[in-house]
Amino acid sequence: MNRIASRAMVLFLLVLLLLGGFVFFLAEYLVKADDWVIFPGSPHVYTGGNIGCGVVVDKDGALLLDLNEGRRYSNLLPLRQSTVHWVGDRYGSISAPSLSYYAAEMAGFDVINGVYNYGQTGGVAELTLSAKAQMAALEAMGSYKGTVAVYNYKTGQLLCAVTTPTYDPDNVPSFTEEDEAYKGLYVNRFTQSSYIPGSIFKIVTLAAALETDPDIVNKTFVCRGEYKIGNEEITCEGAHWEQTLKQAFCNSCNCAFAEIALQLGADTLTEYVEKFGITKQVSFDGITTAKGNFQIQSNADLNLAWASIGQHLDLVNPCAFMTFMGAIANDGKGSTPYLVEEIAINGNRTYDAKRNSGDRIMSKETAAILQAYMQNNVTVKYGADNFPGLTVGAKTGTGEVEGKKPNAMLAGFVDNEELPLAFMVCVEDAGYGKTVCIPIISKVLTAVRESMD
Amino acid sequence: MDGLFYTLQTAQDTYFNVLVGILRYGAPVLAFILLLRCLKPLLTFRREPEIWAWLCLEDGTKLPITHWENVIGRSKRSDIVIDAPTVSRSHGVLTRYDDGSWTVTDSDSSNGVLVNGKKVKIWALDPKDVITIGGVNMRLEPISQKQEQKLAQLRTKGSSFFTSLLNLLILTVYQALCCLAYLMNGSQETAQSVLIGFAGIAVMEWLLLLFYVCIHRTSFEVETIAFFLCTMGMAAVAAVVPREAIKQLIAMALGVATFLLVGWSLRDLERAKKIRYLAGVAGVGFLLITLVFGKEYYGAKNWLEIGSFSLQPSELSKVCFVFMGASTMDRLMKKRNLILFIAYSVVLCGCLALMNDFGTALIFFCAFLVIAYLRSGSVGTVALAITALAFAGVVALRIAPHALRRFASWRHIWEMPLEGGYQQTRALMCMASGGLFGLGAGRGWMQYVFAADSDVVIATISEEWGLTIALFLIFAIIGLALFVVRAAAVGRSSFYTIGGCTAACIMLVQVMLNVLGTVDIVPLTGVTFPFLSNGGSSMICAWGLLAFIKATDTRQNASFAVRLHKTGGAVNE
C-alpha cells in the first residue's frame, strides 16, 4: 500500500498541468482581454459593424451621436453632415475607426469588471472637435470638394476637420457610382486622401535648404521667367527678376526654387522630406492616415526641380502636412493631432488623451525663419485683413491636375500663445489657392477662435 | 393595462439590477465559504497510522502491520521490509478482510511462500500458522476485538452532521439566489422549467442527506461539492436551454442513483471484485453497441438513440473502466493481470478510435497511464505508452481531416473567427466581457454559441457569473483530486486507491480539455466538464466516478462505501 500511496502523487502532475494551463490563460487574459472584448463579433460592444454603445460629444459637450439603441445623431443637419466622417454612419459605409479603437473604453471594459456597468449604457466619448467650427467649416466649403482642418499645435487637439462632399446620415441620398457630385462620398479626405501639393511644397524645399545651409538667407535669386535644365525648362508666370530668398518664397518663384533644389540635390531633399515626416503616415486614436509620396523618377534634374515645387509625383496627405505646419509654428517640434479627448463612464474616466509632443524635426532657427517668411506671405500677398487680430503665416499652392482645374491648397498657422493653431485647406478642382482657400480658412479660424473663448 | 405592464417590467428591471449588483460579489463569497468549508476537512484530516496486526519474527521482533493490504519484500518501499537475499523484492501480500480474517498470497516470488512448511499460492491464515518467506519464519498476530474497537474510536471522525447541515444550508441559499436571478431575467414560458430545475437539486441534496442520517453517515463534503457544480450546471442550462432544465434534473437523479449503486457495490470488496468483471464486459459492450448502432454527430460517432432518448455510452464506459483498472494488491503483484488490463485498454481505445471520438479516447488514455503507473510504478512503461500514443496520434491525424482541422485552428483562432475558431473566439470575448464578477444571470451572449452549455460551458458561466466562480469550479475538482491523494496514505485497499485516483484523473483530464480547450490553450475537443456540462450520460458518469472518490474516505462514519466498524458506541449494521 505504501507504494500505491506514493504513486498516487502522480495526480499532482495532472493538477499542476491544469493549474499551469489556467495560469497561462490568466496571464493571457490580463494582457489581451481588452483586445478580446472588442473583437468585431462582440454583441456587447457593436451593432451592425460600428460600435453600439456610448455617446459621442464635441469638446463643449454638444451631442454628436448617441450609439445606444439605433444611433441617434445630432438634431442639427450641418452638424450631422460635418461629423459623419468621424462618427460613422448606420450601415458601415463610413466607419468610425477611432470609436472602434476605444470600444473597450466605451463599453467600460476593465479586467476586473469586464463590460459590466449599471444599466449598460456605455461611456461618453468627448472629441476634440468643436461643433461650431465644424458647421462653420462645412458652410465655408460650400459646394467644393475637399477638406479643411485646424488643430492646436501645442496640445495636438484636432479642433476642426471637415471633409466634403458629405451627407446626412439620417437622410441618406440615393446616388449612382458615376454621380460626379458624390464621388468619394464615404472617404474622410483629411485622413485618407493624398493631394498633389503644388507650391505649398516649397515650404519643405525651403526648410531643407535652411537646414543644409543657413547662409542661403543672404543669397539673391534672379528669375527671368524660365529656368533651363538641359533642353527643358521650369517656368514662372512672369519674370520676378532679382529677389531675396524671402521674396522668392513670397513670389512662389518656381525658377528660384528649381535652382535651390538642384543645389540641394535629390538625395538631400529626399532625406529632409523623410525627416520632416511629409510622406509619413500619421497615427492617432486608431486612425492611420494615407501615405504621401516623394520620389524623383530616373533621378533627373528636371524631375527634381518639379518635385521641389510640389509637382512631379509629389503627394501629401492633409493631416501629415498640417502636422508639419504645427512643427514649424511650434519652433521645430510639433505634436501629433488627436481626436478623442477623454472617455468617461458614469463620471469615471476610462480614457484620457496623452498629450504627446513629437520629435524635433528641424532647428529652432529654421523654424523661426520659416515662420517669418510665411507671415510675410500673408502681409504681402494674401492680405492680413483676412485674419483680423491674428498673426498668420501661410503658403498657398496650386496642384496641377491633368484634365481638371488645379487643386487649391493652403497650409499655415496662427502665431499666438492663446491660439496656437495650424491649419490645412485642400480644395479639389477649384483654381488658385489664394482666391479659393483664404476665404475658407478665414471663416473657419473665426469660428475656431470663438469656440476657444 | 399596457402602462401597468410596463411599470411592472421596469420595476422588475430595477430589482434585477440590484440583485445582479449584489450577486456579483455575493455569489463568489458564498461559493468561497462553501468550498472552503467542504475542502478543508477533506484536505487536512488527520491520517494516523492504524495497526491491524503484528508480524512476529523468530528473533522476537514484532513488525506492525498498518494497512489492509501489505506487500512483504526486500524492496525498501514494501510495506513490510525483510532484508534477506533470499527474499524477492516483492515477495508476498498479506491481506485483511472485512470480517477480520487474513490471507497470505505469493506474488510470483522466486522462492515461494511457505505456510507450516507447505508451499502455497494463497492461504487463509490462522494465528498459529507459521509463514516462511525466503527462509525467514514468522507468525501473524491480529489485534484483538477490543483493540479494534479502540482503534475505531480513535479514528478521525467525518464531519459532524451539523457541519454538513450548515454547508447544505449555504448551498441552498446559493441555489435560491441563482434561481431567482434566472427567473427574473428569463422568459415567462421557461420559468417553470427553471424553477423545477433548481428546486429539484435542492430537494435531491436534502433527501440524500436525510438518507445519510438514516444510515448513520454524516460526512457530506464530497456530495456538497458535486451539488455545487451541478447548480452551476443548472445555471448554464437556464441561460442556454432553459427548456432542458427538467431533463437535466432527471439526469442528476439518475446520477445520484448511480453514485449510490456504485458506492454500494464498492462497500464489500469481494462483491466489488466480482462486479468488476461485469463492468469490464459492459464497458466494451457499450462501445461496441455504439459502433454498430451509433449515430454520428459533428464527426464523432458517439451517440446512441433509443426512441426519443439519446445517450453517449462512452461516458458510461468510463465508470466501467475505473472498475476494470482498480485491483487489490494480491492481484496487482502479478504481471499477468497487468498484461490483461493493457489488452483491455487497447480494445477500448481501438473502439473509440473507430468512433472518431478523439476527446474521449484521450481521457481513457490518460486514465490508462495513471492506472498503469499506479499498478507498475514503472516510469518506463508509461513513457513507452506515451510514445506509442504519439505515433498513433500522428497516424490518426494524417488520416482524419476532421481532427486535423481542430489542430489547424489551435492558437490561430483569431485568424479564423468564423470557422475553426468560432467557439473559442466567442468564448474569450464573452469571458473578457464578464470580467471577474460576471454580467449577471441571463445577460450573456455566450448562450448563442454552439455547445455553450456543454463543450464551452466554462465561458458561459464565466461571462454571467464571473471568472471567480469559474475558477472555483476548477478548484472544486482539483480539491477532490487532492483529497484522493491524501486519503491514499491511509487507504485500506489498493482497489479503492486506484479506483479513486483513476476517477479523479478522469475528472481532471476532462476539466483540462474542457477549460483549456475553450480558452485555446489546447485544441478544443468537445469534452464535458464533470457535473457542469449539460448532458445526461456525462452527468451519470460524473456521479459514478464520484462514488470511487467517496470510497477512498476512511474517516469514521464518513463514507457509505465503507462499512461501519463494530465499535462500542457506533451502531452496528
> Which chain A residues are within 8 Å of B74, Cβ to Cβ?
none
Identify the weakest region by mean pLDDT among B84-88, B278-282, B382-386, B518-522.
B382-386
User: Between A186 and A104, where is the model more confident?
Assistant: A186
d(CA B383, nearest CA chain A) in Å = 14
Kindly report, residue by residue over B414-435, the tens digit of the pLDDT. Answer: 888 888 888 999 999 999 989 9
User: Between A327 and B383, where is the model more confident?
Assistant: A327
Mean pLDDT of B117-122: 89
Q: CA-CA distance, B257 to B275, in Å (whole number)?
A: 17
> Which chain B residues are within 8 Å of A8, Cβ to Cβ?
374, 484-485, 488, 497, 501
pLDDT score, position A103: 81
Query: In this model, does residue B487 exceed pLDDT 60?
Result: yes
Identify the weakest region by mean pLDDT among A76-90, A128-142, B550-564.
B550-564
pLDDT score, position B570: 35
A47 — contact with chain B (CB < 8 Å)?
no
Q: Which residue in chain B has the smallest CA separation from A114? A: B435
> Which chain A residues are within 8 Å of B436, Cβ to Cβ?
111-114
Mean pLDDT of A103-128: 78
pLDDT score, position B10: 66
Mean pLDDT of A130-136: 94
DSSP state for residue A114 in the 8-state scheme: B
d(CA A34, nearest CA chain B) in Å = 7
- Residue A11 is nearest to which of B68, B71, B505, comparing CB atoms? B505
Query: In this model, does residue A23 exceed pLDDT 50?
Result: yes
CA dihedral A147, A148, A154, A159 (to 10 degrees): -100
Helix, strand, coil distribution of chain B in percent, nearest 5: 60, 10, 25
Query: In this model, does residue B8 exceed pLDDT 70?
Result: no
Kindly report the CATH number that applies to the domain delimited by A135-337+356-452.
3.40.710.10
pLDDT score, position B52: 86
d(CA B309, nearest CA chain A) in Å = 34
User: Between B37 and B58, where is the model more confident?
Assistant: B37
Tell me which residue has cell 434585477. Answer: B16
d(CA A41, nearest CA chain B) in Å = 8
Q: CA-CA distance, A270 to A255, in Å (whole number)?
A: 20
> Which chain B residues are within 8 Å of A24, Cβ to Cβ?
521
Q: CA-CA distance, B354 to A404, in Å (whole number)?
A: 72
Q: Cβ contact (<8 Å) for A3 and B377? A: yes
Q: Give the number of residues written for chain A.
A: 453
pLDDT score, position A140: 92
pLDDT score, position B221: 93
Smallest CA-to-CA distance from B266 within B537, B550, B473, B569 is with: B550
Asked if B107 contacts B71 with a C-beta cutoff of 8 angstroms, the reply is yes
Question: Is B149 in a helix, a strand, or coil?
Answer: helix
What does R_g of chain A's alpha carbons equal in angstroms?
A: 26
Smallest CA-to-CA distance from A299 within A258, A263, A265 is with: A265
Kindly report, residue by residue over A366-403, the tens digit of the pLDDT. Answer: 999 999 999 999 999 888 888 988 899 999 998 878 77
Q: Cβ contact (<8 Å) for A3 and B515? A: no
A113 — contact with chain B (CB < 8 Å)?
yes
pLDDT band of residue A118 (cuts 50, 70, 90) is very low
B465 CB-contact burial (10 Å; exposed 0-12 / middle 13-18 / buried 19+): buried
A106 — contact with chain B (CB < 8 Å)?
no
Kindly report, residue by residue over A398-439, the tens digit of the pLDDT. Answer: 887 877 888 899 999 999 888 999 999 999 988 887 888 999
Asked if B45 contacts B55 with a C-beta cutoff of 8 angstroms, the reply is no
Burial B71-84 (b: 16+ CB within 10 A, else e): bbbbeeebbbebee
Asked if B295 contacts B312 with a C-beta cutoff of 8 angstroms, the reply is no
Highest mean pLDDT among A117-131, A355-369, B525-539: B525-539
| Residue B297: all three cell numbers together | 454527430
**Rounded to 5 degrees, what are φ and ψ at A209?**
-65, -45
Paired with A162 in beta bridges are: A148
Count chain A–chain B contacts defined by CB atoms under 8 A: 159
Mean pLDDT, chain A, whole residue set: 88
pLDDT score, position A119: 46
> Which chain B residues are within 8 Å of A52, Cβ to Cβ?
none
CA distances from A219 to A11, A240, A241, B158 (A): 86, 15, 14, 102
Identify the weakest region by mean pLDDT among A364-378, B396-410, B438-452.
B396-410
Query: In this model, does residue B5 exceed pLDDT 50?
Result: yes
- Residue A116 is nearest to which of B431, B437, B509, comparing CB atoms? B437
Q: Cβ contact (<8 Å) for A11 and B439? A: no
Identify the weakest region by mean pLDDT among A102-116, A134-148, B263-277.
A102-116
Q: Cβ contact (<8 Å) for A18 and B432? A: no
B18 — contact with chain A (CB < 8 Å)?
no
- Residue B497 is nearest to which of A4, A19, A112, comparing CB atoms? A4
Strand duo B309-311 + A340-345: pairing: unpaired
In chain B, which among 318-357 make CB contacts under 8 A with chain A?
Answer: 329
The angle at the Cα of B569, spanning B565 to B570, to the nearest 5 degrees, equals 40
Query: In this model, does residue A443 exceed pLDDT 60?
Result: yes
3-state secondary structure B80-116: EECCCCCCCCCCEEEEECCCCCEEEEECCCCCCEEEC
Q: CA-CA distance, A45 to B332, in Å (whole number)?
A: 59
Strand duo A50-51 + A46-47: pairing: antiparallel
Asked if B483 contacts B224 with a C-beta cutoff of 8 angstroms, the reply is no
A347 — contact with chain B (CB < 8 Å)?
no
A13 — contact with chain B (CB < 8 Å)?
no
Query: In this model, does residue B299 exceed pLDDT 70?
Result: no
pLDDT score, position B307: 67
pLDDT score, position A120: 57
Mean pLDDT of B502-523: 95
d(CA A67, nearest CA chain B) in Å = 19
Query: In this model, does residue B28 exceed pLDDT 70?
Result: yes
Kindly report, residue by residue over B468-480, the tens digit of the pLDDT. Answer: 999 999 999 999 9
Question: Is A425 in a helix, a strand, or coil?
Answer: strand
> Which chain A residues are within 8 Å of B485, Cβ to Cβ?
8-9, 11-12
pLDDT score, position B188: 82
User: Between B397 and B361, where is the model more confident?
Assistant: B361
pLDDT score, position A107: 79
Q: Which residue in chain A has the smallest CA separation from B435? A: A114
> Which chain B residues are within 8 Å of A21, Cβ to Cβ?
512, 515-516, 521-522
B153 CB-contact burial (10 Å; exposed 0-12 / middle 13-18 / buried 19+): middle
Mean pLDDT of B77-103: 87
B135 — contact with chain A (CB < 8 Å)?
no
Q: Where are the domains of chain A?
A: 135-337+356-452
User: Between B503 and B145, where is the model more confident?
Assistant: B503
Above pLDDT 90, what percent of chain B?
39
B519 — contact with chain A (CB < 8 Å)?
yes
In chain B, which among 433-492 make CB contacts under 8 A with chain A?
Answer: 433-440, 445, 463, 466-467, 471, 474, 478, 481-482, 484-485, 488-489, 491
> Which chain B residues are within 8 Å of A31, Cβ to Cβ?
none
pLDDT score, position B308: 66
CB B487: neighbour CB atoms within 10 A?
Answer: 28
Question: Is B477 in a helix, a strand, or coil?
Answer: helix
| ipTM at complex level | 0.92
Query: In this model, does residue B251 exceed pLDDT 60?
Result: yes
d(CA B210, nearest CA chain A) in Å = 33
Contacts 24+ apart (CB under 8 A), B341-350: B341/B371, B341/B372, B341/B375, B342/B372, B344/B280, B344/B284, B345/B321, B347/B284, B348/B283, B348/B284, B348/B287, B348/B317, B348/B321
Asked if B429 contacts A42 with a C-beta cutoff of 8 angstroms, the reply is yes
B342 CB-contact burial (10 Å; exposed 0-12 / middle 13-18 / buried 19+): middle
Query: In this model, does residue A70 exceed pLDDT 50?
Result: yes
Q: Cβ contact (<8 Å) for A41 and B482? A: no
pLDDT score, position A47: 62
Cis geometry, peptide bond prior to residue A165 (ω within 30 degrees of 0): yes
Mean pLDDT, chain B, whole residue set: 86
Q: Cβ contact (<8 Å) for B497 and A1? A: yes
Query: In this model, does residue B109 exceed pLDDT 80?
Result: yes
Question: Is A205 in a helix, a strand, or coil?
Answer: helix
pLDDT band of residue B567 (cuts 50, 70, 90) is very low
User: Between B334 and B163, where is the model more confident?
Assistant: B163
Q: Cβ contact (<8 Å) for A37 and B429? A: yes
pLDDT score, position A201: 93
Query: In this model, does residue B290 exceed pLDDT 60?
Result: yes
Question: Is A390 in a helix, a strand, or coil?
Answer: coil
